[in-house]
Amino acid sequence: MVQEEGLGDLPVMILSSRAEEAEHKDWQKAQDSLLQLSTDSKRKIVEDSGHYIHHDQPKIVLDSIMEIIEKVN
């Protein structure tokens, strides 16, 4: 349902691991397709991280959360 209707202009932040992208060939296309869900979406490629970005690069995750909070306030 969300894919059909989209999320309008709801801010969406997609964090993608560079390592996961290199390991899984279709990963980038799948992540890029998520950008289409909202007219206000952004994708960040996270270096030096595996699948668990929140463990490997917690500051990037926190900064991204704060960026969304600041945008909606």
For the segment 11-20, what is each residue's pLDDT rounded down to a tens digit?
999 999 988 7
Question: How many independent structural domains does the chain possess?
Answer: 1
* Closest-CA residue to 45 (of 17, 73, 72): 17
For the segment 24-72, what is each residue's pLDDT rounded down to a tens digit?
778 788 888 889 999 999 999 999 998 899 999 999 999 999 999 999 9
Cα separation of 59 and 63, whole Å?
A: 6
User: How confident is residue 4, by pLDDT bands cut at 50, 70 and 90?
Assistant: low
Residue-number span of the structural domain to which 23 is assigned: 2-72
Q: Among all chains, which residue has been given the structure tokens 């992208």? A: 21
